């Protein structure tokens, strides 16, 4: 075999090897992105459920404050639950929109940035919606008690509401203190556990899959 023929054969073999390597890289990327997309499905359904809960709050709140326009406590409770339902729906809708706008055809680094923005909003909105329940359960139960009831039969609400709100505010302050305490640099394992818990399993697993793809592309 002539030297030129040998060089040509070697170049052909190298091109085929590179093609196989590119195909393998593409398949690995697509598989990783597909797994990341599947991991986000529970989060998607969770936001749908949150929005349905928000709709329920809006309807119950509206019914309550319409029935009790002459009783200040139930009127305020109905409006609070109504507004909370709207906020819950908005938070869920924005999260769904951010999930839907993830561009899986983009470079992995850009997808990671999109997921990072999704995580920040999800954690912030989830904290606001979730922590509010330390006090929101009070007007919510007031609304349930007020539906179809008369003002005279609900006189017990006043003292119960005061005690329950005090308890709820104390629980909220204790939760905020624990969150701040757990973020101390001297407790890295606890801080990581807290971060993982607020991020959510599905979002965390999706981010892990993207890290695997990014690490492979870097190598």
Task: Please compute the mean of the pLDDT values over residues 121-133 and round it to a whole number.
Answer: 88
Instruction: Look at residue 84 in the predicted model and tell me its pLDDT.
Output: 95
By CB atoms closer than 10 A (0-12, 13-18, 19+), residue 107 is: exposed
Question: For position 163, what pLDDT does the model report?
Answer: 85
Rounded CA-CA distance 132/130 in Å is: 5
Under the banding of pLDDT at 50, 70 and 90, the label for residue 18 is low
Q: Which residue has the higher pLDDT, 11 or 128?
A: 128
Q: Return all residues near 154 (Cβ < 8 A) that are at least 6 apart.
A: 71, 74, 145, 146
Residue 4 scores a pLDDT above 70: no
Residue 8 covered by a domain: no
Residue 79 pLDDT greater than 90, yes or no: yes
- Residue 47: pLDDT band (50, 70, 90) is very high
Report the share of the chain in percent with pLDDT over 90: 23
User: Which of 200, 219, 211 lies closest to 33, judged by CA?
Assistant: 211
Residue 178, pLDDT > 70, answer yes
CA gap 14, 137 in Å, rounded? 67
- What's the mean pLDDT when you consider all of the chain? 79
More confident residue, 71 or 15: 71
- Domain annotation covers residue 53: yes
Its domain, for residue 38, covers 15-218
For residue 10, being part of any structural domain is answered with no
- With cut-offs at 50, 70 and 90, classify the pLDDT of residue 154: low
Per-residue pLDDT tens over the stretch 199-210: 677 888 887 777
For residue 184, being part of any structural domain is answered with: yes
- The model's confidence at residue 29, banded by pLDDT at 50, 70 and 90, is low
Residue 189 placed within a domain = yes
pLDDT attached to residue 87: 94
| DSSP letter string, 146-215 | HTT--SGGGTTHHHHHHHHHHHHHHHHHHHHHHHHHHT-TT-HHHHHHHHHHHH-HHHHHHHHHHHHHHH
- The reported pTM is 0.78
Residue 202 lies in a domain: yes
Number of domains, the chain: 1
Tell me whether residue 24 is in a domain. yes
Inter-residue contact 138 to 165 (CB < 8 Å): yes
196 vs 93, more confident: 93
Per-residue pLDDT reduced to its tens digit, 53-67 = 999 999 999 998 888
Taking every pair of Cα atoms in the chain, the longest distance, rounded to a whole number of angstroms, is 106
Q: Which residues does 29 contact at the CB level (< 8 Å), separation at least 6?
A: 108, 213, 216, 217
């Amino acid at each position: 075999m002539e030297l030129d023929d040998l060089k040509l054969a070697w170049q052909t073999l190298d091109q085929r090897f590179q093609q196989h390597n590119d195909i393998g890289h593409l398949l690995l990327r697509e598989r990783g992105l597909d797994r990341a997309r599947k991991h986000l499905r529970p989060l998607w359904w969770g936001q749908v459920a949150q929005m349905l809960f928000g709709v329920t709050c809006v309807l119950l709140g509206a019914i309550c404050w319409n029935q009790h326009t002459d009783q200040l406590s139930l009127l305020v409770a109905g409006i609070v639950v109504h507004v909370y339902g709207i906020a819950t729906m908005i938070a869920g809708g924005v999260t769904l929109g951010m999930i839907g706008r993830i561009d899986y055809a983009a470079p992995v680094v850009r997808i990671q940035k999109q997921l990072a923005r999704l995580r920040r909003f999800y954690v912030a909105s989830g904290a606001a919606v979730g922590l509010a329940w330390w006090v929101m359960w009070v007007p919510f139960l007031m609304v349930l008690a007020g539906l179809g009831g008369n003002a005279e039969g609900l006189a017990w609400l006043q003292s119960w509401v005061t005690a329950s709100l005090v308890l709820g505010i104390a629980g909220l302050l204790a939760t905020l203190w624990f969150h701040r305490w757990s973020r101390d640099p001297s407790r890295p394992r606890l801080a990581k556990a807290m971060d993982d818990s607020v991020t959510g399993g599905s979002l965390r697993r999706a981010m892990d899959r993207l890290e695997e793809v990014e690490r492979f592309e870097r190598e």
